[in-house]
Structures are given as structure tokens and as C-alpha cells.
Structure 1
Amino acid sequence: MTRTELVALLARQLEAWREGDGVLGVMLVRLQRVREFGLFYGFGAGDALGAAALARIGSVLRPQDTVTQLGLYEYVVMLPGLRGHNHAALAGARVVRAFDEPLPVGDRAAPVSVKVGISVHPDHGREAEQLLHNAETAYGASLRDSEDSALYDAAGTPPLIPYDALHQAILGNRLQVHLQPLLDLRTRRIIAAESLARWTDERLGPVAPDRFIILAEETGLISPLTRWSINATLRHAARARAVDPNLCFSINLSPRVFGERDLVAQITSALGIWNVPASAITLEVTESALMEDPKLSLRRLEDLRMEGLGISIDDFGAGYSSLAYLKYFPATELKIDRSFISDLRDDRRSIQLVRSIIDLGHHLKMRVVAEGVEDAESLGMLAEMGCDCAQGYYIQRPEPADVFIDSLAPAPNQTSPLH
């Protein structure tokens, strides 16, 4: 079932709901520690694992409850007739406990766990989309607070971003492209820039990217947001490359758009419109996001790579089973997660890990980029380790695309002041 179909189903249930019928709960359940299983036993085994988890969740629900599989390892449970918030929390705890024992998958046992986020009608919303959004927010809180299950807490949550506000901002081209450069650590020249979407709303003010991007992924707006990002970035890239023909650009890509059949055609068409070569563009996908649907991710990335686009694995080292899946994906670049770089000066283990990632990337013929560089000492250490590129506030903060392009030197061999 798609999210749109799920919203429609919940909306129909809400229409028939009477206040005297008690509380209606919406529970989001996602499997954890599943990537290792798929990588050890094959991507096909992941489908069987998802089905086994669906059955396990169903086994602990009441007859009136319904569970729907939304993604490969994602489930939404509707809990009508609850007595209140505590009853909803107990339902979440029951689902969590159901995964204390490994799941039987064929002749194997899969030790997985779940994280749960719950919202309740009417206290956490009266509309289907809002209830699902708040269940997602509660799920995020469970991850952040290292809890197995969390109930939505309005007091600890930023104000809800209206769907229409983001929708109109995308359609009206009211988002902005900011660019953050990548520094070549051998030549000390700026050789590329990462494109970052920014949004300042008239009523909401500046909206953090992680908030509006998550909203876009949850509501289906990620497709128009991706189209906007690609075209807006390429428009600026065309202008920048008129000054420096060697300058390259990175664009963040959500795997939520991998299911679109015309994704590759969209990107190649935009490249043609703006006359930017595919070799000048690298698409960044986070390590953990790649593994949400490994088979689809692999197929789509291979298609994009065949068109000459670069593929970067972002936040490398922060996800699961990095070494196990690297051989599958046609990546051309690794971006070391900033959590390793921030400890570089003070933690010997971080130094060893970063050095190992750099060596690994080079053995696999990939460029290695360190993100989150905040000081000269870390930059020098990375250069000594043989890291190819770096980005971070010490080098340059993200700035509006027009400002970045206006600052480009006409001479392509001009060096960075960081030398």
C-alpha cells in the first residue's frame, strides 16, 4: 500500500469515528538491524523477513486493530477504541516485546528489533496526514532518545510545517540554492560545490532543511522538490562553469524518488537543457537510505552511473554494514561522516578509522571526501592521511549560489587562500 492510499484509508476511518468511541491510535513500526540480515543472506531474503515481521506484529494485536505494510520494513497500525494515552503506550510496548525472540525466516532465525512512534486522535491531530506525521515525529524521538517506543509529545516538538506552505514554495520557486565548496587537499583549489536547499517562509521564517525534507519525503512532495533541486542546481552550475569550466557540483538525492520510472530521463533531460555534462555532476545518497530498498537502489544507481553521473555515498560510516555492501553499489566517492572528523584531534581511534576509510576508498578507486572540517589542525591531518577533498565551515560555510558564483576567480588555476 502506498502512503497516499494509507492516508485515504485512515481518513475514511476518521470520518466514521465518534468521540465517544474512545481514542484512535496510529502506530508507526520500523524494523531495526535488518540490513545485516539482507546482506548476509541476500536481498531476496529481505522480502521474507518483511513478511515475517508483518505476521509477528499481527499476532499481538486485538481483533479490531489493523496493520498495513507501507515499505519493505515499515508498518502502520491503526488502533481504534483505546482508553487513552497509556493504553496507546502499552500497545507500543507489546509490539516491541513481540520482537524479543528472533523471526523465523525459512530455516534461519533473524534477530531484529523495532522502533515505534505513536500518535492519538484527537489530541495529536484530527486529520489523517497530521496523525501520520506526528507518529513519524514520535518515531524520530524514539531514535533520538534511545527508546524502543515513543508517544508524540507536542511540547517537545517544533511547530508543524503546513503541507501547503512547502507545496507552494516548491511550485513558486521560493526555495534557494546554497553552495558549499569542496577543497582539493593536494592542490588547495576549490574543485566542486555541494548544492543545498534552503527555505525561508514569510510566516514560519527560516525552516531547517532536515524538517522540510522529511516532510517532503513523508507527503510525496519529494518528487517535485527533487525536480526543483536538479534544475535549480544545474542553472547555477551552467553559470558557474562559464567562469570555471572545471567546476563540478554535487546534488543530494533521496532514494524515495528511485521508484520513479522516468528519474534517469528527468536528470539527463535537465543536463541537456542547461548544457552541463553528466561528468560534472555527482549525486549524493546517504549510506543508511541506500539500504531501505537495496535492490531498487542498486538498479537505479547503475542506471545513473551508465549515463556518466558520479555517485557519492554520503555520511559513510554512520550506517550499517558499510563494508558488506560497498562491492554492490557503483559509487565513485565516499564522504566520511562528520562524527569521525569532529573527534579527529582528540581521539586516536577516530584517526585510525578515518585512515582506514581513506585507504578503503582508494583501494576501491573512489574519491574520498571528509565533511564537517572545523579547524586547520584537522584539515592538515586529513591531508597527511591522503584524503582527497574536504568541506566544512573552516573552508567555507554554505552561501547563496549567486554569492558563491560571483566570488569565483576568472582564472581556473587560482588557489584557495587555505595554503
Structure 2
Amino acid sequence: LAWITGLGVVLFAIGSVFAARRVTTPLRSLVHATETLGRGQYDVPMQHTDRHDEIGGLAKAFDAMRINIRAQQNEIRTLAYWDRLTGLPNRARFREAVQEQIQMASADSAQPAKSMAILMLDIDRFKHVNDVLGYSFGDQLLIAVAKRLTQQDMRAGDMVARLGGDEFAVMLTGSSAEVAVAVAQRIAKSFELPLAFEEQTVDMSASMGIACFPQHAQDVDALLSRAEVAMYAAKSRTTLMQVYDASLDSSSTETLSMLSELRNAVAQGELRLFLQPKISLATGHVVAAEALVRWQHPQRGLVPPLEFIPFAEQTGFVRQLTMWMFEESARITQTLADLGAGFKLAINLSTRDLLDLEFPARLDAVLAKYALPASAFCLEITESAIMDDPQRAQSTLNLLSQRGFKLSIDDFGTGYSSLAYLKSLPVDELKIDKSFVMNMETDEDDAKIVRSTVDLAHNLGLTVVAEGVENALIWDKLKALHCDEAQGYFMSKPIAAHTFAAWCATWNARQQQTA
């Protein structure tokens, strides 16, 4: 009996061990599997899913969770690295790929780094297409650009990406600047076929910038930045493409020196305010003036605006120049009281001013400082500045108009704004570009453009100013067309602000004598 009892105990113990192992082994397996999931490894299937007991049910539940997590992670990665509209890699994935190529190219320190080119592309006039033809057409344009870029003859390892908005980029592995230029030329050729969508057709063109590793930069951020600098240089010069050069970069020594000098010019009082009068064609009297800045450099003398204004716009320093001009204009307004309550000083705004959300508040502070109404000023904006970002520009213009500023479209006729969009803007005045006015006595087409613009503006209830009035014949033609105001060298070149009041007194007195 004793041995039977002992055998039973042994068998029970063995059975217990096997039973325990049948439970604990799968549980250890499941614990290990959850640890694997915790490390982000979602491709290893769960074991024991073929069991028909509670352990099997638990394993199946864990495996279903694994599959769901993997699907979610794949979707998150897709959202994080791919552009939904075009199906191309996005900026984050492109940057990661460029970084990987740089690391691979630099891996063998004993060998020269393998070259790579970045081609960055921006669609010309894309915001205008969105504004005039609608966002649906704009999306179709982006999809068409993506398709034409991916159809180029690329090597294995090359990548096309949409960086955002209307910017695309191409990574050309093992390629020089010369190869990238050839690719850019092929891309431009592919854009010659217009895009047709919903009975609308639009010509496609783009500005492209090229930067190379390791020639132009040795890290990913500098490389992408310099490709972008080259792209915007191509756009500003209206050329097809631009290979990066240090002279283009706002971080170059020469540019930093110019920026330092400009800051010093403001601090040391080297800037000078000049005013060019606007004359009423009906009365001949001075009714307004455009504020202009000149730089009295201690070594170079009087620096023309074309030598520093474009630079200021490129670097963003133009915002400081705008505020300097506005404050100087506000200060000198007190000396121009004799010109009447309706006299206005006009200040030019840049794209950066329009996109600066704090800009209206800064103008408010200057007005409060000098106890002046906003109605004493006219703010001039070019069509191109508005069309760079129409929605934000219109928002800023609405705020300025609500404050009482008079708003003027400068250089009208040279930009891309539509008449429908013009009607929606809170503007009070159109300035006809001087390129049309100066030739209207000899070019019938220019004369027609001026005549049509005057009629258009008057029909919209706007004042019309003609720039570039160089002689009496043009003055007389504009007067016959019932243009409101004239500005140009026939009346006066820009005058130093401190002598402007005296000039106006002399001019107005002469007009009264000849009336």
C-alpha cells in the first residue's frame, strides 16, 4: 500500500510539473512577446494561437492587438513621412534620406566623400492660380507636377519629395552640379505642356535652385538651406535655375557686413528721408508726397536705394526700414501743416510688412507718439507683395483700412492680380506704373492701357495716380483723361524732407499766379 501511495504521489508530482509547464511556458512566451511589442517590434507573430483553451484565447487576443498596433504604426509613419495629395515623400522623409546619404558618403574617412546634388523647385505664380482658378485646380497642378517629376530618368536611390505648399525637391545621389543642371533642364522641358483641368488651361513653369554635397555644405540642414537660397535667387532673377554660390547667401561675409552697416546706418542717423510730390492734375497743387529713403554712407556718399533696398527685402531688414520711414514721416508731418488737412504722406510697404501680424500695432504706437490720425498717411503696396500670400495680405490690409489708413496699389499693371481680387481689397488708390506712362506719347498700346486703367479705377471709386510724368505733353494727356494725380521728374525729383515745405510753397504760389 505504501508503494502505491508513493507512486501516486510521484505521478501527481510529474503531472503537476507538466501541467505547470503547460501554463507557465506559454505565459512566459506571452510575457516575452509583450516585451517585444514594447520595443516596437510588431512583425513577430504570437505563439500558442493554435490552442483552444484560455491560454490560446489570450494569445489570439495579443496577436490581434499586435496586428492592429502594426497597422496603426504604419499609418502614423505614412502620415509622418508621406504627402497625402501627391503620394510623394514629405519634408521629414526627404531630410532623413538626405541625412542617410551624407552619412553613407562620409563613412570612409580615407576616401573623398561621394557627391550628391539637391534640386529644389518652386512653382511660379502658384498662389495666383489658387486665387483665380480655385484650390481644386491648384491641387491638380500639384499632382501634375509630382507626376512629371517622378517621370524623369532617375537613378536608384534618387528621391522626389514635396516639401510643402508648392515646393518640391529632388535628391540626386552620386551627382554633380552639372548632372543636376541637366535634370533641371529636362524638368523645364516637361513643364512646357500646359495643364488642362475642368475646361481651364494654365502654363506651368518653375524656379529651381541647386546645391551640392560636399561642395556647398557638409550637413543636411545647410545643404537644404543653400538649395533654397539658390531657388529664391532664380525666382527673383526670373531665371530657370540657379546653382548655389556664396554671394547669394545671407550668411556670406559680404552680406553680413552689409547688414551690419545698415543696422549701424539706422543707429547712427545715416539714413535720409526724401519726398517726391504728387500733384493734382485738376488744380496743379501739391496734395501728397511719397516718402523715399536714401543712405548717406560715411565713405561711399549717397547710396542709391537700388543698392540696398533689394538686400533689405531679402534679409528681412526692410521691416526696420519701413518703421524708420514711417516714424520720420510722422515726425516731419508737423512741419507740413500749411499744406492742408487733406495732405498725405505715402509710405511703401513690403511683402514682409504685410505678412507681419504685429505690423499694424507698431504703426499704432507711432501714431500715438505723434498724436496723428491714420488718415494722414497713404500706404503703398505692390501687386506682387499682395499675391505672395493673398489671404494674409488681405487680412493685414483690412486691419490697416479699419484704422483709417489710405491704401494704394503701387506699380499697377505689372503684377498678376485679377480685377475680381482687386475689387475685394480695401484700397483707395491705383498708381499706374511708370513704364506705361512714360511711353504713352509714342506708344498707342501704352496710351490705351493708361486710359483703360483710369476708367477702371474711377468705376471702382478709386483715385488714380500716374507715375513717371516726364514732360508737359504727358501731363496734358493725363489731364485730358481725367487722371487725378501725377508724380514724376517733370514736376520735381525727390526732395530732401527738410526743404520740402519750402518747395511746396514756391510751387503752389506759382500755380496760383498762372491760374
TM-score range with shorter-chain normalisation?
0.7 to 0.9
2:125 maps to: 32
Residue 380, structure 1, aligned to residue 472, structure 2: no
Which residue pairs with 1:115 in the alignment?
206
Secondary structure of 2:404's partner? coil
Structure 1 counterpart of 2:320, from 221, 224, 227: 224
Q: Bigger CA drift: 358-367 or 229-238?
A: 229-238
Q: Which residue of 2 aligns with 1:41?
A: 133
Aligned to 1:182: 278
Aligned CA distance change for structure 1 residues 186 and 69 (closer, same or farther; 3 Å)? farther
1:76-111 Cα shifts (integer Å, max 9, x gaps): 747565644422312322332343345587x67662
* Alignment check: 8 A CA contact 1:92 1:149 kept: yes
Distance 1:360 1:410, change over 3 A: same
Task: Determine whether 1:393 maps to 2:489.
Answer: yes
How has the CA–CA distance of structure 1 residues 86 and 300 changed in structure 2, closer, same or farther, with 3 Å as cutoff?
same
Q: Deviations over 1:99-138 (max 9, x none)?
A: 3345587x67662422324354587799777775454333
For 2:113, the equivalent position in structure 1 comes to: 20
By how many angstroms is 1:206 displaced?
5.1
> Which residue in the other structure is 1:87 paired with?
179
The one-letter amino acid paired with 1:217 is E
Quick check: 235-244 or 306-315, which moved more? 235-244
Distance 1:282 1:381, change over 3 A: same
Distance of 2:514 and 2:120 partners within structure 1: 51
Partner of 2:500: 404
Query: Please, what is the CA RMSD of the aligned residues?
Result: 4.0
Runs of 4+ in 1 over 6 A off after TM superposition: 15-19, 122-131, 152-156, 410-414, 416-419
* CA–CA distance in structure 1, aligned partners of residues 513 and 491 of structure 2: 9
* Alignment match, 1:345: 441
Q: By how many angstroms is 1:51 displaced?
A: 5.0
Q: Against the structure 1 CA distance between its residues 203 and 86, is the aligned structure 2 distance closer, same or farther, given a 3 Å change threshold?
A: farther
Determine what percentage of the aligned residue pairs are the same residue.
29
Contact 1:188 1:418 in 2 (8 A): no
Q: Secondary structure at the match of 1:396?
A: coil
Q: 407-416 or 393-402: which moved more? A: 407-416
In structure 2, the partner of 1:100 is 192
Q: Distance in 2 between matches of 1:203 and 1:79?
A: 45
Is the Cα contact below 8 Å between 1:305 and 1:330 reproduced in 2? Answer: yes
TM-score normalized by structure 1? 0.79
Question: 1:237/1:161 Cα in 2 relative to 1: closer, same or farther (>3 Å)?
Answer: farther
Match of 2:287 among 163, 179, 191: 191
The normalised TM-score by structure 2 is 0.66
Shift in Å, 1:416: 7.9
Show CA shifts across 1:281-301 (max 9, x none). 111111122112222222221
Larger mean CA deviation between 131-140 and 302-311 belongs to 131-140
Superimposed CA distance per residue, residues 343-392 of structure 1 (whole angstroms, 9 cap, x where no aligned partner): 11111222222111111111111110000111111111111111111111
Aligned to 1:234: 330
Greater strand fraction, Structure 1 or Structure 2 = 1
Q: Spell out the pairing of 1:20-419 with structure 2 (5 A cutoff).
A: 20-22=113-115, 24-25=117-118, 27=120, 29-32=122-125, 35=128, 37-42=129-134, 44-45=135-136, 48=139, 51-52=142-143, 55-56=146-147, 59=150, 63=157, 69=163, 73=166, 75=167, 77=169, 79=171, 83-102=175-194, 111-120=202-211, 132-141=228-237, 143=238, 147-151=239-243, 161-162=255-256, 163-202=259-298, 207-241=303-337, 244-409=340-505, 415=511
Q: Structure 1: which amino acid aligns with 2:469? A: V
Which stretch of the first structure deviates more once superposed, 352-361 or 116-125? Answer: 116-125
Q: Which runs of 5+ in 1 are unaligned?
A: none
Q: Please tell me whether the aligned partners of residues 96 and 116 of structure 1 are also in contact (alpha carbons under 8 angstroms).
A: no
2 CA distance for matches of 1:348 and 1:316?
Answer: 18
Identify which range, 255-264 or 180-189, moves more after superposition. 255-264
- How far apart in 1 are the matches of 2:314 and 2:389? 16
Task: Give the secondary-structure state (helix, strand or coil) at the position aligned to 2:511.
Answer: coil
Higher relative contact order (CA 8 A, sep 6+): 1
- The residue type equivalent to 2:113 in the other structure is G
> Is contact 1:22–1:80 with CA below 8 Å preserved after alignment?
no
DSSP 3-state at the match of 2:424 = coil
Specify the SS of the correspondent of 2:493. Answer: coil
- 8 Å Cα contact 2:127/2:390 also seen in 1: no
Question: Offset at 1:219?
Answer: 2.5
Amino acid at match of 1:278: A
Cα drift, residue 226 of structure 1:
2.5
Separation in 2, partners of 1:337, 1:226: 21
Q: Does the aligned pair in 2 maintain the 1:33–1:112 contact within 8 Å?
A: no
Q: Number of matched residues? A: 402
Shift of 1:340: 0.8
Instruction: Give 3-state SS (helix, strand or coil) of 2:295's partner.
Output: strand
Secondary structure in structure 2 of the residue aligned to 1:199: strand
1:175–1:199 Cα contact (<8 Å) kept: yes
Which amino acid in structure 1 is aligned with residue 241 of structure 2? S
